[in-house]
Amino acid sequence: MSAPFVSHAPYPSAAPMPAAVRWLGFGGLFPFFAMLMGLALLGDQFRGILLFALVGYGAVVLTFAGALHWAFALTATDQPQARTRLLVWSVVPALCAWVALVLPAGFDLILLVVMFWVHFIVDLIWARRLGLPAWYLTLRTALTIGATLALTLAIALMLLNPGSAPDLVPAQTTCPAPANGTII
Q: State the pLDDT at residue 113.
A: 98
pLDDT in tens, 5-47: 444 455 556 678 899 999 999 999 999 999 999 999 987 888 8
176 within some domain: no
Residue 182 binned pLDDT confidence (cut-offs 50, 70, 90): low
161 within some domain: yes
Residue 77 binned pLDDT confidence (cut-offs 50, 70, 90): confident
107 within some domain: yes
3 within some domain: no
Rounded-to-integer distance, Cα 149 and Cα 108, Å: 15
Rounded-to-integer distance, Cα 5 and Cα 77, Å: 19
pLDDT in tens, 78-95: 888 989 999 999 999 999
2 within some domain: no
6 within some domain: no
Distance from the Cα of residue 156 to its chain's centroid:
19
Residue 66 class from Cβ within 10 Å (0-12 exposed, 13-18 middle, 19+ buried)? buried
10 within some domain: no
How many domains is the chain built from?
1
Question: Which amino acid makes up residue 124?
Answer: L
User: Residue 143 sits in which domain range?
Assistant: 19-170
Q: Which of 16, 12, 52 is nearest to 35 (CA)?
A: 52
Distance from the Cα of residue 62 to its chain's centroid:
2
- Helix, strand or coil for residue 69? helix
pLDDT in tens, 111-164: 999 999 999 999 999 988 888 898 999 999 999 999 999 999 999 998 887 765
Residues in the chain: 184
Spatial contact of 117 and 144, defined as CB atoms under 8 Å apart = yes
Instruction: State the angle between helix axes of 47-75 and 80-102 in degrees (0 to 180), rounded to the nearest 10.
Output: 170
45 within some domain: yes
